[in-house]
């Protein structure tokens, strides 16, 4: 394992709640992982290949699902408290990976140098998801894939109304997460080609984060990065 820091990082020093959130993250998600999200992660992540970059790796809940045969696995995470837990999990699971202090809006990779980008429960949290999606498109090689699993704005007006009402408190509780973000629409309008998009439900979690989308979006050959 190498822990790196990048000049282009969105590095953040953890405040008290950020540190507490990093400690509570795995226990808070535990029931939801068991109730189906673990299986969704597994189904998605076994499709990663080549040079693979994960955005906002958090505590590393995806680690156990990556194949050992990837050319390289690079984990990015801008929050120091999360990065510490990620480093601990890498040591525990004896996985080899580079960890970079970088945000999704400013990825420290060359154009068209990455085969797979992973985003699980991250596009809800980045401040500028449209910018992050353009960065993903820039770094992907033609034919490269974004594999995503995100909670999204509900298609039900009633639940969407509650997502809007509770967006502020939830954002404060969940370290910047926007429970009412229409991430599926953002991926659709990014210029990446949607190969697959599936709806699911995040059981054992609060209703405002229950609607999920998982899928694969590809950078078409000859696609402009602009
Ligand atoms: C809800 S957690 C998801 C963690 C992990 N991907 C997972 O599936 O469990 C959101 C993560 O995104 C990170 N994050 C926040 N802002 C980010 C940004 N601008 N770019 C990339 N990651 C960001 C947070 O620090 C946090 O680790």
* 13: confidence class by pLDDT, cuts 50, 70, 90: low
Q: What is the pLDDT of residues 17-65, one digit of tens each?
A: 999 999 999 999 999 999 999 999 999 999 999 999 999 999 999 999 9
222 Cα to the center of ligand 1, angstroms: 30
Cα–Cα distance between 56 and 76 in angstroms, integer? 6
Ligand 1 pocket, residue 129 CB under 6 Å: no
The residue nearest atom 11 of ligand 1, judged by CA position, is 56
Q: Does residue 52 belong to any structural domain of this protein?
A: yes
Q: What is the pLDDT of residues 123-140, one digit of tens each?
A: 999 999 999 999 999 999
Long-range contacts of 24-28 (CB under 8 A, 24+ apart): 25/58, 25/59, 25/82, 25/85, 26/59, 26/61
Phi, psi of 156 (to 5 degrees): -85, 120
58 Cα to the center of ligand 1, angstroms: 5
Q: Does residue 226 belong to any structural domain of this protein?
A: no
The domain total for the chain is 1
Q: Does residue 96 belong to any structural domain of this protein?
A: yes
Higher-confidence residue of 9 and 51: namely 51
Higher-confidence residue of 200 and 14: namely 200
Q: Does residue 207 belong to any structural domain of this protein?
A: yes
Let me know: does 151 contact 121? Beta carbons within 8 Å.
yes
Cα–chain center distance at 83: 14
Phi, psi of 42 (to 5 degrees): -60, -45
Q: What is the CATH number of the domain that holds 12?
A: 3.40.50.150
pLDDT of residue 219: 98
Q: Does residue 223 belong to any structural domain of this protein?
A: no
- R_g over Cα of the chain: 16
Cα–Cα distance between 54 and 47 in angstroms, integer? 13
User: In a mutational test of the pocket of ligand 1, which residue from 43, 58, 208, 212 has the highest number of ligand atoms less than 8 Å from its CB?
Assistant: 58
Q: Which of ligand 1's atoms lies nearest the C-alpha of 104?
A: 20
Cα–Cα distance between 168 and 188 in angstroms, integer? 25
- Owning domain of residue 33: 2-218
Q: Does residue 224 belong to any structural domain of this protein?
A: no
Residue 168: half-sphere exposure toward Cβ, Cα within 13 Å = 1
Q: What is the pLDDT of residues 79-99, one digit of tens each?
A: 999 999 999 999 999 988 999
Place of tokens 């809800």: 124
Q: Does residue 24 belong to any structural domain of this protein?
A: yes
Q: Does residue 18 belong to any structural domain of this protein?
A: yes
Cα–Cα distance between 122 and 58 in angstroms, integer? 9
Higher-confidence residue of 6 and 158: namely 158
pTM for the full model? 0.94
Cα–Cα distance between 1 and 90 in angstroms, integer? 7
Cα–Cα distance between 82 and 160 in angstroms, integer? 29
Phi, psi of 155 (to 5 degrees): -80, -10
């Amino acid at each position: 394992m190498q822990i790196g820091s990048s000049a282009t990082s969105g590095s953040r020093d953890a405040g008290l709640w950020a540190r507490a959130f990093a400690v509570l993250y795995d226990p808070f998600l535990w029931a939801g992982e068991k109730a189906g999200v673990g299986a969704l992660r597994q189904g998605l992540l076994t499709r990663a290949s080549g040079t693979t970059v994960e955005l906002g790796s958090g505590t590393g809940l995806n680690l156990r699902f990556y194949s050992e045969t990837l050319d390289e696995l690079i984990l990015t995470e801008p929050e120091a408290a999360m990065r510490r837990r990620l480093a601990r999990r890498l040591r525990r699971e004896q996985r080899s990976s580079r960890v970079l202090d970088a945000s999704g809006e400013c990825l420290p990779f060359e154009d068209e140098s990455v085969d797979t980008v992973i985003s699980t429960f991250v596009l809800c949290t980045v401040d500028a998801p449209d910018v992050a999606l353009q960065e993903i498109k820039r770094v992907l090689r033609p034919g490269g894939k974004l594999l995503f699993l995100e909670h999204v704005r509900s298609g039900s007006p009633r639940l969407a109304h509650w997502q809007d009402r509770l967006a502020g408190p939830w954002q404060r509780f969940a370290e910047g997460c926007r429970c009412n973000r229409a991430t599926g629409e953002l991926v659709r309008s990014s210029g990446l080609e949607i190969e697959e998009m599936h709806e699911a439900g995040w059981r054992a979690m609060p209703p405002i984060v229950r609607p999920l989308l998982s899928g694969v979006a590809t950078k078409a050959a000859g696609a402009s990065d602009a």
